[in-house]
Structure 1
C-alpha cells in the first residue's frame, strides 16, 4: 500500500477515536454525505428492554467536533436499530453557523452482541422536523477499529521505507493514547450548552504536575492570575447572567514539559462535560457556556 494511503487510512481511523469512556455498545465510522464528503462519527449507547440512550460524536478532533445526545430503540425480532439525535451537548462550530441538522437513522442490525458493523441511509432533520442533509452511515464496532489500527501500526513500524523519526510521529498507538478526550487548542472555542445558569467549572492537572501556569478569565474578568495547575481541583462557580458566559484559559508558562495542559470539567446539575486545553506560552482557548 502506498505510504500516502497509509497516512490517509490511519488519519481516518485515529480521528474516529475520542472520548474513551466506554458504554455498553460502541461503534465508530463515518457519515457519508450526498456530496461525497466524509465526516468521522462515533456512536455509544446503553440498551435496556429494547430502548437505547447514549450519545454521538461527529468530526472527532476536527474544527467542528460536536457531541449530541441520542435515544431510540432496538427491535431484536425485526433486527432493526433506530435512533435520533435530539440535543447538542457541545460543539466547536461557531454559534452563528450551528444549523442543528440532526441524524435520524433506522436500519438493519442482526444483533447488538454479535454484529461487528452496520450501515445504511440516514435522514437529516432540523429540530422542527424539516429536512436538511441526508447521507449514509457506515459504522464498525470499536474493538474492530482498534484491531485495524494495531495492524496498521505494525505495518508502519516494520516498513523500511519510513524513517524511525516519522514512525515515532505517526505511531497509531501513541496517537490513540493522546485522544482520550476533546482537546481545545490555540484560538479554538468549545460551545457547551447548559440547562441551568449556575455552573461549576473545575480545573486541575490529571497527568504529570510540572508547574503549568495560567490566567483564567470569566467574561473578560480575571479570576485566577499566574495560577499553577495541580492535581487538586480548583472550583470556579460561574453564573450565566446573559445568554452566554465565556471562560478563557491563557497559558503563562509550559512548565517543565510542553505544552501547557489543563483538564477542565463543566458541571451542569447532574451533567458533567470533561475537556482539556493544550497550549503553548501566550496562547489562549475558550469555552462558551450557552444557556438553553
Structure 2
C-alpha cells in the first residue's frame, strides 16, 4: 500500500507454509532470519499460520523466533487455495499494518506473493539471496542476482508497505530452537464458506521418494552438460551412490531427461547447503 505515513507500519511478519502436519523448513528458516532483522529494527516477529488443525504447530514457531502467531484454523483452509489465503492475509495486513512480510519462494509462495502484493499495491522482491536492514531508513535491503547471475542487485521498497520478499529454501540458515522462548497465540475467526472460492481441491498426490531432499542433504554430487551424454551422467549417479550422496544437476541435463526436475539446482532450481559438494563437468 502506498502511504504518506510510514510510521503507521510496524513489525515483521512471516507467512508459514505447512503440510503433513508440520511447518515447511523454509518458513522456519525465515523465522530465524526474520528474528535477526526484527532485532535490528526493534520490532516483534509475527508468524501467520493458516490451515486446518494447525494450532499444534504454533508453539514450534515461537521456538524458532516468532513473538506472536496469528492462527486462522478452519476446515475450508485445509488445502492451499490462492483466493482464500490471499483474502485472509490481506485483511490481517490491513488491520495490523506490518512493515515487512517474508514468504518462502516455494510453489505456493510464488503463487501467493504476487497476488497478495498486487492486492496490497506494494512491491515484492522475488528469489532473494540475502536480506539486511537499513536502520536509518527502516528499509529491508533485498539482494538478488540478475542478468544471468552476473550481477547482484540490492533492491528496496521505500514508498509502499508492507515491504514483501520471497526467499528460496536453503538460502537462509535454519537456526536452533530456543525452547525457553514464550510468545502470544492469536486466534482469528475467518468464517469461511465453500462458496468463498471457485477452486475445489479434488485430491492431493504427494511424490514418493526413498531419498532425502537435496535441500537437506549433507553430501551432493552434481553435474552439467560437461559429462557429455546420458552414459556420462550415469557415472555421476554411481559416484553419488558410492559416497552415500544425493545427485544434483544443472538445467540442461534435466531438459535432456537424464534426471528428474526435482534434482535441479541453481537459479531455477533448488538451493543447497551440503557439507560436501562435488561438481562434475
Task: Give yes or no for TM over 0.5.
Answer: no
Larger % of helix: which? Answer: 2
Between 1 and 2, higher relative CO (CA 8 Å, sep ≥ 6) is seen in: 2
Question: If the TM-score is normalised by the length of the shorter chain, which range does it land in?
Answer: under 0.3
Q: Structure 1 length normalisation: TM-score?
A: 0.25
Q: Structure 2 length normalisation: TM-score?
A: 0.26
Larger % of strand: which? Answer: 1
